[in-house]
Amino acid sequence: MSTQELDPASPGPSSGPIDVEQAEAALVEHYPRLVRIAYLVLPAALGRNRRVLAAHALVQRSLPRRRTGGAAVPGPRRAEDAVDPGYAYVRGEVLRQALRRRARVPSPVPHIWGLRVFPRAGGTDELALDQRLSELTGAGRAAYVLRGLERQGDAEVRRVLAAAGVADPRAALAEADTVEGMHTLLESPEFDPCSLQARPTDLMRRRQHGRAALAATAAALVCGALLGLPGDGWGPGGAAAPAYARNPAAEAALDPGQLRRIAPAVWQSSARTDFSVWPERGALTGDRALLRRALAVWARPGRKVHTSATPGTPPGPPMGPPQLLYAGEVDGSRVVLFHDGLRAVRYAEPAEGTSGAALDFARTDGADAAGSAALVVSRTSANVRYLTAPWVRSAAVRDLLRPAKPVVPLTRDQDGVTSPVLSPAQAPGCSAWPVLQIRDERVERLLADLGELTPARLTWGAPGAEADVTGRAARAAWARTACLLPSVRSHGVRAVNSWQFAQQRLPAGGGRADWLCTRAETWRGTGARVLAQFQAPGARTGAVAATSEVSPACGSRDARVLAGVLWQARTGQWYVLAAGTREFTSLSTTGGVRAHEEGRFLAAEATRGARADLTGRLSSGLRMAALR
């Protein structure tokens, strides 16, 4: 709702005429919310049964008889004003009628003879709020509802109250101020007169069951079939929150009939090889009700929907009809995958019922054949399943920690969904690191699950010459790097490249150590994470020498890197070790250890816990600090 500051005397969000059709459309779309407003503003002395009936009657009598409104030329609308003129008019009529009612006035139609209907009971907090609201005047309740339920600023509340006939809107706001910290309860079932329970009054026992069933059916249909409420019953308490604006492009994006569907063979002749040529797959691609729910929740996820998005991914609704990638049942859930050119979106709901829906967003703009090779279609506590691209010919599982171990072939169904794979993203330790190995027409690739919708591609090689991890040396290096991947988990990572920038002979006969730089690039292009590693002989994993989230080091723009560590030889002596890429001509340390060596390596005796500042001189004569 709008929170703009308006003059209380102004005519409202739209000063132009209001058509009966415009007001009727607003009433139908927002009927549950309007009835809730009326129910909250009506006096508690009516009793819950009469308040429910009166609230429905007030809303249904709020349509204008003919074209109404103010000036012939509408006044300018402010950018922040999001209230539909038709909705604003009907809401004003509901408030005006509710404020004029008295407890002694009999309830108008509709009537339900022999039965009582009332909202579902809430908890102690809702009971306390209902008691506090009953102590306010009608104007005070209206001010509280406009501020808490409609999210309006005080100036607009004063204007709406004045238009509804309240003599002193400021006093009403001051009265509403006495009820503190309970605004969120206004959305609870305690105050929902569209979700009702029915109980008999004076009916004889032999008629109780039949009458109760009839009344329960009537109550369920009050907000559904009676007024044709759209959205398959997914109202304010469901997964899809109510919409407050109508837009032709937005409505087209919510229509399952408008979804873009790609034929199975398009990718074979297309100049592009990415998500845009993925065909629609899955046994439920024809389930319009499921697709409609998925699109509605994407556009308006309710409070009960678990939503996640990778960093830098906008979670908003689609700009137009998205592309359908998959719709099917996996691991006890109905899953729908969409793509809108910028993002891959996953919707999931339980196979039985629609509670507990989940919505995941991930950026995929600029995806190539490698970046669009697979998407996560299902994730459980320990396993993950992938939907592979149509050009993937085979899939297998490889343990990064055991490079010599053969891969385990992975079965896929007719839609390209793999059998379950143990997910390292959820594992508490690092005893294994299974990755997805896929083969297309040209090459094998490794994809690692980092807890996101898109797996990250693993590569090996100097910046600008990265290649897929296929050789023995690359696999051996990744075996000692894999356990460092949790540091880049859930960071929107697109690809992780690792490369050996130096190999240093250690003092005291310690053998040769490898210096590696690992860089995790993100889909958003910023926030890349860089890790400099020191891999001592015989060590199971590399030691992190330095990390950075803002450095261009180890990337295609600037491959140079310098790093150092404190290392203990078998003799017990401690050393400061440092290495840089080939551009460095000398290295120096200051602080706790003072040393200087020509070339791109340094080894200086030190004490345990010593701290030193490391710099290097480049062949250009410039000095460069170590990665940090």
Give the per-residue SS3 of 363-402. ECCCCCCCCCCEEEEEECCCEEEEEECCCCCEEEEEECCC
So where are the chain's domains?
A: 17-222, 248-367
Q: Half-sphere exposure (CA, 13 Å, Cβ side) for 161?
A: 28
CA distance 159 to 6: 7
| Strands across the sheet containing 306-309 | 306-309, 358-363, 343-350, 333-339, 323-330
Tokens of 468: 């897929």
Q: How far is CA 532 from CA 319, 330, 514, 554, 578, in A?
A: 41, 40, 11, 9, 11
Place of tokens 């556009």: 299
pLDDT, position 6: 30
Give every residue of the chain whose pLDDT is below 70, as ranges.
Answer: 1-19, 65-83, 102-118, 120-124, 181, 197-238, 240-247, 249, 353-354
Q: Is 582 left (phi over 0), alpha (psi -120 to 50) or beta?
A: alpha
CB 575 within 8 A of CB 565: no
CB 369 within 8 A of CB 439: no
pLDDT, position 406: 93
pLDDT, position 50: 84
- Tell me phi and psi for residue 337, to 5 degrees: -115, 130
pTM: 0.64
Q: Is 101 helix (H, G, I), strand (E, B) or coil?
A: coil
CA distance 404 to 397: 13
Q: How far is CA 417 from CA 51, 338, 374, in A?
A: 53, 15, 9
Q: Half-sphere exposure (CA, 13 Å, Cβ side) for 139?
A: 18
pLDDT, position 238: 58
C-beta atoms surrounding 527 within 10 Å:
16
pLDDT, position 422: 92
Residue 537's nearest CA partner among 564, 560, 503, 574 is: 503
CA distance 48 to 36: 12
The alpha carbon of 282 is separated from its chain's Cα centroid by a whole number of angstroms, namely: 23
pLDDT, position 107: 44
* Strand-pair category, 323-330 with 358-363: unpaired
Q: Is 46 helix (H, G, I), strand (E, B) or coil?
A: helix
